Amino acid sequence: MNKDGIKAGDRVDLSELINLFDVEKMAERTMSKMAYEYVASGAGDEWTLRWNREALDAIKLNPTVLTDVSKLDTRVTLFGYELPYPILIAPTAYHKLMHPEGELATARGAGAASAVYVVSSFTTTPLSEIAEVATQPLWFQLYVRDDRELTKELVQEAEAHGCRALCITVDTVVTGIRNREQRANFTLPNNVLTPHMPGALREQKPLTWKDIEWLQSFARTPVLLKGILNPADAEKAVQSGVSGIIVSNHGGRNLDTVPATIEALPRIAEAIDRRIPVLMDGGIRRGTDVVKAISLGASAVLVGKPVCFGLACAGAEGVTKVLEILRTELELAMALTGKANLASLDHSVIWR
């Protein structure tokens, strides 16, 4: 219970949540200070964390009027599966810090909102249990460890439980300087365990392109690389044969002063030239943000922090609420820019 007497998991009035910023405000009142700081904070002086939002805000939209937007189509197909809208739940760790039901609530919320949930290697709930309650596709995010056999077994377990894609985090050879986490004395409670990832993240193996080749040699699902900011790396990713990439700066949590993802996205999209899907995360809080990302070359976006805040507010219902708000805002933004489908969102939507 926090200082306001609100306990994680308590019933809350979701009608108070008008936008994703409201969700964070309510979550801050609900969560322990340590848990809130873990989710909300970034690395170092948090320049990149702020830039993720500021860069999105700075982009102006260029609407077209008198076009027929009576029938909006937000569907997108990724790796052979059709999604009703281009917003996925990004992988985030330790969901039982935010709500007693942890990843089970996240999966249920994703199901109610018809969204793909990318499960973190640092899930606090076994994959088998998440798969039992999931009604929408699961993807799995992988940190590669020194123990190759353990890594291979984890990939195969994720595939056995129906995960349809594998997202390899490539931007975290070590964890960044996270001063806010340090000041909050972040530690996992004794009852919060990570069944698929024993030990600390610092034990992770530094990855090379040879490791990506090795992973693809046995993975039966599409492999995406998460954490690409450099167009040269994007080109190498295509040459390596991966199925997709995620433009990400780890939510500003690792290397401070790298650019906002929306700034990196157009360069990456140009280098990729539609050969494989490009997704993006980092700072998405509004439907207009989604429009901007799609217009600048993303096939879809992922949201992490807002989902964690929704989970903290109201469990599965809070997760669903976050996704429904964002989906509704996306539809309104498309209508108001004069674009009836995702294919029509291109550079012409961006004010130059």
Whether residue 239 lies inside any domain: the answer is: yes
**Residue 347 known to be catalytic:** no
Please choose, from the candidates 265, 260, 259, the residue with its C-alpha nearest in 3D space to the C-alpha of residue 279.
265
Tens of pLDDT, residue by residue over 175-189, are 889 999 999 999 999
Q: Which residues are annotated as a binding site for glyoxylate?
A: 38, 143, 178, 250, 253
Q: Which structure tokens are listed for 7?
A: 């306990």
Tokens 């469990």 sit at which residue? 315
The whole-angstrom separation of Cα 328 and Cα 94 is 28
Whether residue 35 lies inside any domain: the answer is: yes
Which residue among 99, 161, 250, 347 is the active-site one? 250
Q: Which structure tokens are listed for 231?
A: 């167009």
Whether residue 348 lies inside any domain: the answer is: no
Whether residue 5 lies inside any domain: the answer is: no
Listed as ranges, residues in the chain with pLDDT below 70 are: 1-11, 199-205
Strands 76-78, 300-303: pairing kind: unpaired
- CA 280 from chain centre, in angstroms, equals 8
The beta-carbon contacts of 272-278 under 8 Å, at least 24 apart in sequence, are 272/234, 272/235, 272/238, 272/245, 272/297, 275/238, 276/237, 276/238, 276/242, 276/243, 276/244, 276/245, 277/78, 277/79, 277/243, 277/244, 277/245, 278/234, 278/244, 278/245, 278/246, 278/247
Q: What is the CATH number of the domain that holds 147?
A: 3.20.20.70
Whether residue 345 lies inside any domain: the answer is: no
Tens of pLDDT, residue by residue over 21-38, are 999 999 999 999 999 999
What pLDDT, on a 0 to 100 scale, did the predictor assign at position 7?
56
What pLDDT, on a 0 to 100 scale, did the predictor assign at position 5?
46
Instruction: Please state the domain count of the chain.
Output: 1
Whether residue 55 lies inside any domain: the answer is: yes
What pLDDT, on a 0 to 100 scale, did the predictor assign at position 113?
98
Question: Average pLDDT, whole number, for the chain?
Answer: 94
Q: Which residues are annotated as a binding site for FMN?
A: 91-93, 120, 141, 169, 226, 248, 281-285
Could you list the residue range(s) of the whole structural domain that residue 224 is in? 14-338
Whether residue 1 lies inside any domain: the answer is: no
What pLDDT, on a 0 to 100 scale, did the predictor assign at position 3?
45
The whole-angstrom separation of Cα 31 and Cα 41 is 14
Whether residue 4 lies inside any domain: the answer is: no
Please choose, from the candidates 110, 133, 91, 97, the residue with its C-alpha nearest in 3D space to the C-alpha of residue 9.
97
